[in-house]
Amino acid sequence: MTAPDDGVITLLPPFAERDRFTAEGWCPMERALDLIGTRSAMTLLREVYYGGTRFDDLARRAGVTPAVASDRLKRLVEAGLLERRPYREPGQRTRYEYTLTDRGRDVFPVLVALMRLGDELPREKEATIGLSHAGCGEPIVPEVRCAAGHEVPLNETVASIVRP
Amino acid sequence: MTAPDDGVITLLPPFAERDRFTAEGWCPMERALDLIGTRSAMTLLREVYYGGTRFDDLARRAGVTPAVASDRLKRLVEAGLLERRPYREPGQRTRYEYTLTDRGRDVFPVLVALMRLGDELPREKEATIGLSHAGCGEPIVPEVRCAAGHEVPLNETVASIVRP
């Protein structure tokens, strides 16, 4: 039996008992993935981050069918990430537009972290999409910090079972 | 036509031409999702972050079948997030264990950002998993910063097409 490599998360008791306490089925990451773990949900959310609001625009730019867009947007609204508002142009039926809520904005680090990983993976086209800070022009990166402001690497992270 | 809400990413020309330059199909986020956008890939990666190394342990704790684990782990190794090493116990056949590479460690913000979102979504069980900083005990959060160290909100982010 080899010891686990250094540089991983430390599990506190009783979570450290890996046979009794697997994270499977109740890890918050899994709930998040149930919501935005599909390519279609994240590409629709990306298009809202890029300023898209209207159903047709979002579906087309995300590259998903109207049926898929309808289902994903409905779930994002139900989960409180997007807000749906009706609008109507003269002589047309009522349509809907979608805007971010605060919770939807909170998901921004997911996009940034995924884009950073994707940038390191092989790609077919030469061009890519870069995100940078309007203030200073520097590229933006995802970071993990604690509430006290320290940057926290994997091997300084502890995981524990939290009961309310 | 309503203007897009404030507080979204600013698209620089020519990326701002949303009919000619949709991100669909070449956005780095999509490449990342092709790799880790499945629940099974992320739960396996989570178990490696938690110190798991052996195939059987990883599959069981992630709650995935051996066939799925085999496929996902193979892809994570090919993408350079994990390293596969053979090991052998006396009288048994050669087996494999998996450890993180630097690129695999770089994906940590994805886990933290997803766990944070999941914590805000409705859950069945009361207990959840908390991540905190070993140094000071404070909870850890995902942040977006630029290379100059500024914290960058969505509405101070610009997206542009980058050609090498």
**pLDDT digit string (tens) for B100-135?**
999 999 999 999 999 999 999 988 878 899 999 999
Tens of pLDDT, residue by residue over B144-160, are 999 999 999 999 999 99
Report the pLDDT value the prediction gives residue A21, as an integer from 0 to 100.
86
Q: Do B110 and A110 touch (CB under 8 A)?
A: yes
Tens of pLDDT, residue by residue over A100-147, are 999 999 999 999 999 999 999 988 878 899 999 999 999 999 999 999
Which residue in chain A has the smallest CA separation from B95?
A: A1
Q: How far apart are CA A128 and CA B161, in angstroms?
A: 6
Chain B residues lying within 8 Å of A131, measured CB to CB:
9, 157-159
Report the pLDDT value the prediction gives residue A1, as an integer from 0 to 100.
33
Mean pLDDT of chain A: 92
Of A33, A30, A51, the closest CA to residue A42 belongs to A33
Is B159 in contact with B11 (CB distance < 8 Å)?
A: yes
Beta strands (DSSP E) in chain B are 10-11, 82-87, 95-100, 128-133, 140-146, 157-162
pTM above 0.90, yes or no: yes
From the CA of A72, how many Å to the nearest CA of chain B? 15
- Residue among A15, A46, A135 minimizing CB distance to B29: A46
Report the pLDDT value the prediction gives residue A18, as an integer from 0 to 100.
84
Q: Do A52 and B18 touch (CB under 8 A)?
A: yes
Q: Do A29 and B8 touch (CB under 8 A)?
A: no
B72: Cβ contacts below 8 Å, ≥ 6 apart: B38, B40, B41, B44, B64
